[in-house]
Amino acid sequence: MNLLRSFINANIRLSKWFDRQFLPSSFIKDGNQDFISKMAPSYLRQGMKIYDVGGGKQPFVDTKKKAALCLNVVGIDISQSELDRAPVGGYDETICADIANIHGVADGDLVICQAVLEHVKDTDGAMRSIASLLKPGGKALIFVPSRNAVFARLNILMPENIKRKILYGVYPNTRAAQGFPSFYHRCTPDDFITMAKHSGLAEVESRYYYISSYFSFLFPVYLVWRIWVVLFKSIAGHQAAETFSMVLVKVA
């Protein structure tokens, strides 16, 4: 097992080296980290009411920043047990429900939804629900993996037990936060813009990312995948993104 782990780690290092040496910076920016550390924090303001969709046991805003900005945070998750495991003071209120079935009262300044909507069957309903949570001028911050990514296509095709066994075997640190069933229904940049418009939301900002770590455990596979991503982007533009982030404002 130690030998296998060493082999995997060596391939991961080689994959990262290849990216640094041969690809532009736009192809190596980690979307999830950019959303967490740069994009979403730039929209936090004093006294906001925030709906944290799918945060569960890990609220997006930590308790220290929540207190410093006097934020009112409502946690929404399909699992009550996940919400119950959140840090004390992480949420001011919790709602256990499927985001696609929420009917809000339009009192939110911000909705944060990080890597959640790929797990929702009714993405159109989820977008309408997100819009219902926001007051006019309120913003939704969304990060999601794209259905067009190779890993997403494989995820859709493979049985759940096999996917989890491979994922946890290669990346054991993902056991606590990943492995939920994924559907990627309409999870592409253009589909999200269309759904947003139909829900009374307008695009403020979008960021597209062209990297994921799923294939880095075996460099030859990673190399073929990286060549594909470069070619796909040259043909499809932002629709070739592996992951993407969007800021949507409620206009109606």
Residue 9: per-residue pLDDT: 92
With a cut of 60, say whether residue 30 has pLDDT above it.
yes
pLDDT tens for residues 180-202? 788 999 999 999 999 999 999 99
Domain range list for the chain: 2-43+98-250
Residue 169: per-residue pLDDT: 62
Q: What is the 3-state secondary structure (H, E, C) of the chain?
A: CHHHHHHHHHHHHHHHHHHHHHCCHHHCCCHHHHHHHHHHHHHCCCCCEEEEECCCCCCCCCHHHHHHCCCEEEEEECCHHHHHCCCCCCCCEEEECCHHHCCCCCCEEEEEEECCHHHCCCHHHHHHHHHHHEEEEEEEEEEEECCCCHHHHHHHHCCHHHHHHHHHHHCHHHCCCCCCCCCCCCCCHHHHHHHHHHCCEEEEEEEEECCCCCCCCCHHHHHHHHHHHHHHHHHHHHHHCCEEEEEEEECC
Mean pLDDT of the chain: 93
With a cut of 60, say whether residue 121 has pLDDT above it.
yes
Residue 90: per-residue pLDDT: 97
- What is the mean predicted confidence (pLDDT) over 216-236? 96
Architecture of 2-43+98-250 per CATH?
Answer: 3-Layer(aba) Sandwich (3.40)
Per-residue pLDDT band for 4 (boundaries 50, 70, 90) equals: confident
- What is the mean predicted confidence (pLDDT) over 56-63? 97
pLDDT tens for residues 154-182? 888 876 666 566 566 665 665 555 557 88
- What is the mean predicted confidence (pLDDT) over 64-82? 97
With a cut of 70, say whether residue 59 has pLDDT above it.
yes
